[in-house]
Structure 1
């Protein structure tokens, strides 16, 4: 992770009605939460989880929960927090400690 908190902005173009608007909303929320923003690479063949892990960011910001499937959300939460614009939700990354310890 970086000295300044960094977020990965992600907008699924297949779900979004207006990609530019969703990108602006994601950017606005990320900046409001104190993150500098990096954007996903649409031309990459890597799944979102691998892009997030390689970018080593603190959070992933999406326009809404429909931009991530449940399995994708689960995988991303292994390495980063997830924030959604509308509805305003926060999903904290999974803890690395075991409950039995």
Structure 2
């Protein structure tokens, strides 16, 4: 069974949402994820959608599709991958937190 990633596109930022969706899906396949899509009509922020979906990663077309606070919150629960530029943000780890 492949790990699952949530595809996220900010439609206020995207100038070509269909292209962005294709690029997110392509990167997800290349990284070995089964990509599911966020519910754009949901009033829940992306971090809550990620928690509810229990995904291993979030894939976005570019860093500007997430604000800095959303990226920080997401990194507390999942990895974040961007298509262009190609970046990976690993989730925060609790190793050594009690030392």
1:96 is displaced (CA, Å) by: 1.8
Tell me, in whole angstroms, the C-alpha distance in 2 between the residues paired with 1:16 and 1:74.
21
Tell me, in whole angstroms, the C-alpha distance in 2 between the residues paired with 1:41 and 1:33.
22
Normalised TM-score (structure 2): 0.96
Q: Could you list the runs of 5+ residues in structure 2 that have no partner in the other structure?
A: none
Aligned to 1:10: 8
Aligned to 2:95: 97
Correspondence list, 1:30-49, <5 A? 30-49=28-47
- Partner of 2:39, secondary structure, is coil
RMSD of equivalent CA atoms: 1.0
Normalised TM-score (structure 1): 0.94
Aligned positions, number: 99
Decide which of 51, 54, 74 is 2:52's aligned counterpart: 54
Aligned to 2:24: 26
Q: Could you list the runs of 5+ residues in structure 1 that have no partner in the other structure?
A: none
Tell me, in whole angstroms, the C-alpha distance in 2 between the residues paired with 1:23 and 1:45.
21
